[in-house]
Structure 1
């Protein structure tokens, strides 16, 4: 079916008017070159052309290149540091499956009535994931709300497992080709939808990383938090993000409880990754990132709860991310970077929070699932 692109304002008006048509709401990246780019009919001097090019470069430098890095490389999360340790240990460090490709068939426990199933998955490139078993998972899970991170698409994709199942779809497109992007698909129509983190100093940048759905008795915040980068080159920006995110979530929580889902790019404690001792200065496990996450969970008047850890307490060796490098999956060298976090007052409605450990191979992450009493 053809994909229709709509601006956020158009989407909001449709939602407010009660429209229930199948649609893809598309939030495109900010085109930093558009206003500076001359049309074919415009004649400009060489000097003006040079000035225009310099202007474009300046805009890119400030709004894109400084913030959007080669996330695939950053995503290795310090395995160069881990490699030596791995070579010294041949034992498996995981308490779960070690398959390196998606199972041909999947089946999960049928959802109970009067519950809402949430699923979140960093697909590390949706087009590639579709070729490696994405449809198998999406069909078997059949979540009521599915959130994807790192879609790496430039426009909505017409995928049967999504289009046939979810009448409400939102795509936040990354501002650099081949990077980032968040999408949310829902069987339930929300009251409103917003993109980005309004408390951040660069809201446009955040629009490709956060989508918030408002429902009658909770908010759902789908999120892909920036990586601090190789050698922590983006750590300062990550700290700024954490401050803005904390403020935004607390503003929402003052109105109604929330669910915060996605790749949050932090391993909270030492049991949330296989090699804590060699990664204290690696993106995702720095003292600064961990302290920010701890502060967000427990530092306010209203607490937030990491639902998987709540149900699984001291469980070790269960992770959501395994690098493709160094045979990390087969050796069980992983990180738990993906979360369903909820407002504490919503916790008594959370029935289950799980990691789909067997669903590896379509991405270097595995999906996570949470069941909420409706």
Structure 2
């Protein structure tokens, strides 16, 4: 009888321990879902007055590897991405684009899949896998509400690489190191496959790295705001957008650039629930000017959180951006009969709030000299974004 009682107790303990492990494993896994649908229309000027519908679906999973398997200081992340719809950027005539979920190929992609390991008791970390460069580099939180692509990452970097750098909608294999020598100072660097491609893209993930790597580093200070500087360079020379070599193929040039980020809280302090908490940002980027249509550009703006005291999710933002076109890009356009100016500029105003489970965001953009084309009328673009996430 005693043996039976002990055996029953041990079995109960084992079952309880198994249930506890299962519960802990369940806590270790965090699933997410997000969906955005945009109705975008060029209502005046631009290349064509037309309405477009486009959408963006994300399904994500974050796993705490320490809770799940006892792997201390490690975590894993995966994100599936699906996009479809029209191209409002073409209608506006903008060379930078007007909607940050617009894609050229409608596909389901494994957008991100990486593992991260803490180093030196959390002072540093290393991350490896399919990685979105713009998730940590060349990014301002206070610019995140704006829909114009130029506010996500500078166009002079976004337009580089054989298939674009490792940003939306296709990432590449990468290794990222980050170090925080003090609470407010950080340094980070990454090496990324220069050829972006993921599962779902033609050819899938590129493991050969025949196009070399994109190297990028950023250092900054965070506190009441953010001050950061960054620099990037491709390890292999890229095609010149105009000049030809002795064989008649595009000449090879060094592709490189640098940027500065500034962000500052104006009102509301650090309290996230402060009414009309206002943050300002400014950014400036430059490039080599030989391998991209953009010599550089700048963006600036403000974001106001909790615009209405009674609406905790209400937010307002206004931003201005200007891209400087390279002489070589303008010369190529002149060969085709286009007269381009030096710049394309845009002003964007947007407001977002929740209504039940939905987030509604009306957005208005005014694109000045779309594509730099002197003959094209300035474009007015109206967007309504409807989103849900959990």
By relative contact order (CA 8 Å, sep 6+), the higher-ranking structure is 1
- Output the TM-score relative to the length of structure 1: 0.32
- Return the structure number with greater strand share: 2
Higher Cα Rg: structure 1 or 2? 2
- Output the TM-score relative to the length of structure 2: 0.31
- Return the structure number with greater helix share: 1
